[in-house]
Structure 1
Amino acid sequence: MTGQDSVGQRIKTVRRQRGFSQAQLAHPELSDSYVSLIESGKRTPTPAVLELLAEKLGCSLTYLVNGVTAEQMEEIELGLSYAKLALDNGEIVEARLRYAELLDGGDLASLPQLRQDAEYGLALATEACGDLDGAIDLLNGLRRNASAEMAPERHIEVAIALTRCYRERGDLTQAVQTAEAILGGAVRPVWTEGIIALGTALLAAYAERGDLLRAHQFGAELLAAAELVGTPRAMVLALWAEAIVAVETGRGEEAVKMADRALAIYSENDTSQGASHAVAKLRYDYAHIHLIAQPSDAAMCRDMLVQVEASLRESASNMMDKMMCAQHLARAELMLGNAEQAGRHIRSVLNLSDDMPKDLRAEAHLLAGEVMAELGRHEEAVSELAMVSELLEDAPPTRQTAHLWLTAAQVLERIDEPTRGADAYRRALACVDL
């Protein structure tokens, strides 16, 4: 139950359980008529009065306000902490289960803020499990049912997650519309870190749908806004997003410079708990940008990734981070002509990929196919590329999907599989409506 009536009803219930009359509960601080009005929901007690009544009734203030005991509140908060920890550590199935159990329990019905936290966490865990439709339904439900109770920061967080999910699902029009509903007016909202983060999600959607001119223009605006906000996080977000757009638009040197600056800012300013893990993650993303923008730096990237891999082993990093680091390491070794070393890394990637979303698994098997092709292991290369085809069968027609099909086609052509290669080329062209 929520609302003031439920508070009055709880006071009445506990009063009767204690065997008090309204006059006994009221004396000497309050009048019995005032207590009657509170119990009937016709008066709103002040926090001080609620605290007084809780003391006289021998129950917790938490119970009177929310309908849960202090012990239940502690259990709920502990459950939310465990669920968030599981999500942060990449234990996505466990996180999804814990959040769902909290919401199914019913204790959150009168705790709107904690219920929002659980629903938002469940949406993020559902997205991480690859169930984009489920995540989108949860996020839209959160916006629809809890919008009036939602803090502005949570509104932005939900919009960011929705934009990201729509983009990952391939619904780029909806992704852009979701972000532009907040950012697309003639006058921008006041720039904050949250709005900058939403801007980076919009920038990614522009780039994914091939609107590179708009992405370049908006990226410059976003970077200027981040400089006005002036916080390290805002600068890192904007620089990183603009670096990715620079890679997409063939401005490799600019991309590397912006990635260098983002990494330097983050390393110098984030002293929070877990910062070393976050820096490690940023470093493997940095190496990835370098490998694309400046392939000649592959040896430097390989050395950096070896250090990152060691750091991730020693920290409470999640499986996703370990997988992505190993995948970038395999790519760097392959670019350096070290196919055997690349093979060792790609095997560890495949061992970690079973519970990952389909697009990440497709990337892993595609790289494995490239490695097998380089090693001259034809049948294994064909097997890996067949797995790529299976994983991409129902993938949304995005630029990323087109790139994966195109790379698969090139590898199939290289290992003398012209029929399969031609089919992969056709699928790549279909993704871009050609």
Structure 2
Amino acid sequence: MDEPAEIGRRVQRMRAERGLTQRALAEPSYTSAYISTLESGKVRPSETALRFLAGRLGTSYEELATGRPAHLATELRLALTDAQRTLATGDAAEAAPRYRRLLAEAERLGLDAERAEALLGLGDCALEAGELPDAIGHFEAAEKLLADEPLPRRARPIRGRAVAHLLAGELRYACYLLESAIDELNAGGLADPEALVLLYAAVISPYIDMGAHARAAHAAELALALAPRVADPALVAGMHRQVARTFLTAGRTAEADASLAKAQAIYQQLRLRTDLAHCHWMRGYVQAQNGDLVAAEAELRTARDMLAARRAALYAAQVEVELADVLRRLGRCEEAAELLSGLLELGDSHGAVHAGGAHRLLGLMAEERGEAESAEEHYVQALTLLERSGAGGDLADLCRLLGDLLRRTGRTEAALDAYRTGLGHRAAPGTTTLGPAPASPLRR
């Protein structure tokens, strides 16, 4: 709301333009003396008073309070919806310039809610492009604009920041952000189902990567229980996609595939291409686990092509690690090695987990060729990268591979050290390095 003097001048101008006296404007709810005091800028009008006067003057509360015609904010919100649709169904590189223009317009008009929405869109665009520092900056700026809003309104930027840190290999910090928000929502009686499903679904991936499988399963159970109270179909689909990971971890592949089928059907209906690509990726993973390598290759190639077309670099890198493993198991090791070689440079940027996975697979292939020294080098490189990211579950498996290799080559003490390191990284059921698990929703 503008200063009282500015509002008073605006009311006086509009009243004069419409040929109304102060008494005619004031009645029946106010007095002409109140209108005189308001027009002189000596009183700050309440929202109730301004809404009454706006009705008498044939204008909007927003225009009377800020001087900004209401249609400008409406048009901006419609344009933001169009940009969101472009991002979901088109290309982040096309959506980002739209969001930047809309952010500038929202700043010019002083519309904080629309500024936050544009920043969230820019954050999502940066996530797809693998520009993680930019993504974090956009989500932090959006969260700052929403600082005075209830926590459910801040769930999206918090989740966005967490995903960016997760993709950067900062698993523990991603967990911390999500767990803190979940605890605050539940402890404060703000158990908004959509916000909680968004956060529970997001925390599954870092839990699994850290080896905290029981915690991931608990988050999945809570998300599934809340799903019937969620109206947004895309949010429900995203939950099913993440819950499928917990089913896979538990060896429940049929249930995982059923969850993925539900998600895929929604994404196809809504034409959400990046999310649909993730479903192809996970279904390929399920098929690989079941030994159907030919079908797995087809699904993973579809996912990689869809993500590459969207310039979703880090997501495409994750798929390529899975695809390379399928190619290795099909006996096409040269193709797998060529695919993995392009991922090694990610270790110097924000893809430490993916580069670590590439080194692990290259080590396995070197072992299969009988090249123990090369295998050891790749395992050690993978170990360094995964330790940096905190991927506890992967580290434990990698230490086992390294220990087995060292033992076979007669280096028993070094093998024992590797096994001990692996045991140190194997998380106990339901725990992380972060302390107690986040609270469950309060029962009502």
TM-score (norm 1): 0.70
Q: Does 1:386 align with 2:362?
A: no
Q: Secondary structure at the match of 1:147?
A: coil
User: Which residue of structure 2 lines up, in the alignment, with residue 256 of structure 1?
Assistant: 254
User: Which residue of structure 2 lines up, in the alignment, with residue 320 of structure 1?
Assistant: none
User: Which residue of structure 2 lines up, in the alignment, with residue 194 of structure 1?
Assistant: 195
> In the aligned structure 2, how far is the partner of 1:155 from the partner of 1:361?
29
Per-residue displacement from partner, 1:245-276 (whole Å, max 9, x unpaired)?
A: 232x3x33x13224315635885xx6996269
> In the aligned structure 2, how far is the partner of 1:375 from the partner of 1:419?
22
> In the aligned structure 2, how far is the partner of 1:265 from the partner of 1:284?
10
Q: Does 1:431 align with 2:385?
A: yes
Stretch of structure 1 that moved more, 104-113 or 274-283: 274-283
- 2:90–2:273 CA contact under 8 A, matched in 1: no
Deviation at 1:215, TM superposition (A): 2.4
Name the CA shift for 1:364/1:11 in 2 (closer, same or farther; >3 Å). farther
Q: Does 1:28 align with 2:27?
A: no
Deviation at 1:288, TM superposition (A): 2.4
Output the aligned Cα RMSD: 4.3
Letter of the 1:406 counterpart = R
> In the aligned structure 2, how far is the partner of 1:147 from the partner of 1:19?
37
> In the aligned structure 1, how far is the partner of 2:104 from the partner of 2:324?
41
Deviation at 1:34, TM superposition (A): 2.4
- 2:207–2:216 CA contact under 8 A, matched in 1: yes
Per-residue displacement from partner, 1:325-370 (whole Å, max 9, x unpaired)?
A: 6147xxxxxxxxxxxxxxxxxxx579637x3324524753884798
> In the aligned structure 1, how far is the partner of 2:75 from the partner of 2:217?
48
Output aligned runs, 1:34-433, within 5 Å: 34-39=34-39, 40=41, 41-44=43-46, 45-53=49-57, 55=58, 62-70=62-70, 72-105=72-105, 107=107, 109-148=109-148, 150=149, 152-184=151-183, 190=191, 192-223=193-224, 225-226=225-226, 229=229, 239-247=240-248, 249=249, 251-252=250-251, 254-261=252-259, 263-264=261-262, 267=265, 274=270, 284-285=280-281, 287-296=283-292, 298=293, 305=299, 326-327=302-303, 352=309, 355-358=311-314, 360-361=316-317, 363-364=319-320, 367=323, 384-395=339-350, 397-398=352-353, 401-411=355-365, 421-433=375-387
- 1:287–1:301 CA contact under 8 A, matched in 2: yes
Deviation at 1:107, TM superposition (A): 5.0
Name the CA shift for 1:110/1:416 in 2 (closer, same or farther; >3 Å). same
> In the aligned structure 2, how far is the partner of 1:259 from the partner of 1:131?
31
Name the CA shift for 1:193/1:22 in 2 (closer, same or farther; >3 Å). closer
Q: Secondary structure at the match of 1:103?
A: helix
User: Which residue of structure 2 lines up, in the alignment, with residue 334 of structure 1?
Assistant: none
User: Which residue of structure 2 lines up, in the alignment, with residue 318 of structure 1?
Assistant: none
Aligned length: 377
Deviation at 1:427, TM superposition (A): 1.5
> In the aligned structure 1, how far is the partner of 2:236 from the partner of 2:2?
44
Per-residue displacement from partner, 1:24-48 (whole Å, max 9, x unpaired)?
A: 5524132553234434252222413
Per-residue displacement from partner, 1:283-314 (whole Å, max 9, x unpaired)?
A: 52552242243123x466678x5xxxxxxxxx
> In the aligned structure 2, how far is the partner of 1:153 from the partner of 1:286?
29
> In the aligned structure 2, how far is the partner of 1:74 from the partner of 1:228?
31
Deviation at 1:393, TM superposition (A): 2.7
> In the aligned structure 1, how far is the partner of 2:231 from the partner of 2:72?
38
Q: Secondary structure at the match of 2:343?
A: helix
Name the CA shift for 1:162/1:9 in 2 (closer, same or farther; >3 Å). same
Name the CA shift for 1:108/1:120 in 2 (closer, same or farther; >3 Å). farther
TM-score (norm 2): 0.68
> In the aligned structure 1, how far is the partner of 2:95 from the partner of 2:122?
8
Q: Secondary structure at the match of 1:295?
A: coil
List gaps (5 residues or longer) in structure 1.
Answer: 306-323, 329-347
Stretch of structure 1 that moved more, 383-392 or 413-422: 413-422
- 1:222–1:238 CA contact under 8 A, matched in 2: yes
